């Protein structure tokens, strides 16, 4: 009897140990991906500058890439360090307004709704001193990080391109900031 209860307990421990090991292995990629720099270990700052609105500094943007010269078809990161508090709702609304403005054709209502929902789930409220970094992953989409963790992985290539176009499109709202991000003197 002792032997059969030992076998059951031993089996339970083996199963629990295997589950714990599997959970540890499964979470390892998430822990490794907690910092955007693990995706772009060779990235260097291409350029940067402040976004101002009516003279108020909103954030400092820095474009990071391993490609020289910068190649928007290769992985890159855009880091925003905020000087102001902005709600998640405002970030989503402003992003979608710019995405629609820059789109060469009207975006279907279903796509707009899907993208708004994805951005709302990815964004957080920001305060003075907060930092968000978006990483463009060609063929996959993008990942969004704060200073401490991965906030979201959005596997939507079209959304990722449209989102980063807010800063990198020649018709960007702030063409001087765009040139500074690309390392070109304005």
Contact 136, 46 (CB under 8 A): no
Phi-psi sector, 124: left (phi>0), alpha (psi -120 to 50), beta: beta
- As beta bridge partners, residue 152 has 144
Q: Tell me: pLDDT of 102 over 60.
A: yes
Q: What's the order of all strands across the beta sheet hosting 141-145?
A: 44-53, 56-65, 76-82, 131-137, 141-145, 150-154
Contact 53, 114 (CB under 8 A): no
Q: Using alpha carbons, select from 180, 174, 182 the residue that is nearest to residue 53.
A: 174
Q: Tell me: pLDDT of 41 over 50.
A: yes
Q: Tell me: pLDDT of 60 over 50.
A: yes
Give the separation between CA 133 and CA 37, rounded to whole angstroms. 10
From residue 37, alpha-carbon distances to 11, 33, 76, 135, 144 in Å are 41, 8, 10, 9, 12
As a whole-number percent, the residues of the chain with pLDDT over 70 amount to 81
Instruction: Tell me the two tokens of residue 128.
Output: 């003075």
Mean pLDDT lowest among 10-14, 86-90, 99-103: 10-14
Q: Tell me: pLDDT of 93 over 80.
A: yes
Contact 153, 141 (CB under 8 A): yes
- The DSSP secondary structure of 151-173, one letter per residue, reads EEEE--HHHHHHHHHHHHSTT-S
More confident residue, 101 or 35: 101
Question: In this predicted structure, what is the pLDDT of residue 89?
Answer: 98
Give the separation between CA 28 and CA 132, rounded to whole angstroms. 22
Q: Is 1 exposed, middle or buried (0-12, 13-18, 19+ CB in 10 A)?
A: exposed
Question: In this predicted structure, what is the pLDDT of residue 33?
Answer: 55
pLDDT averaged over the chain?
A: 85
Instruction: Tell me the two tokens of residue 94.
Output: 């402003």
Mean pLDDT lowest among 44-48, 95-99, 147-151: 147-151
Give the separation between CA 93 and CA 87, rounded to whole angstroms. 10
- As beta bridge partners, residue 136 has 76, 142
More confident residue, 117 or 16: 117
Mean pLDDT of 88-112: 97
pTM: 0.80
């Amino acid at each position: 009897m002792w032997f059969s209860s030992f076998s059951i307990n031993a089996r339970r421990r083996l199963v629990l140990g295997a589950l714990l090991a599997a959970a540890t292995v499964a979470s390892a990629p998430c822990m490794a991906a907690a910092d955007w720099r693990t995706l772009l270990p060779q990235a260097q700052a291409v350029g940067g500058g402040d976004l101002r609105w009516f003279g108020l500094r909103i954030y400092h943007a820095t474009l990071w890439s391993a490609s020289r010269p910068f190649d928007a078809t290769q992985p890159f990161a855009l880091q925003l360090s905020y000087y102001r508090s902005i709600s998640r709702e405002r970030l989503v609304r402003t992003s979608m307004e710019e995405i629609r403005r820059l789109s060469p054709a009207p975006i279907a209502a279903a796509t707009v709704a899907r993208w708004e929902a994805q951005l709302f789930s990815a964004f957080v409220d920001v305060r003075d001193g907060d930092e968000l970094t978006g990483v463009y992953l060609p063929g996959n989409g993008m990942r969004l990080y704060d200073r401490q963790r991965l906030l979201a992985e959005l596997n939507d290539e079209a959304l990722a391109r449209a989102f980063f176009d807010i800063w990198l499109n020649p018709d960007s709202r702030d063409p001087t900031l765009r040139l500074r991000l690309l390392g070109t003197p304005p």
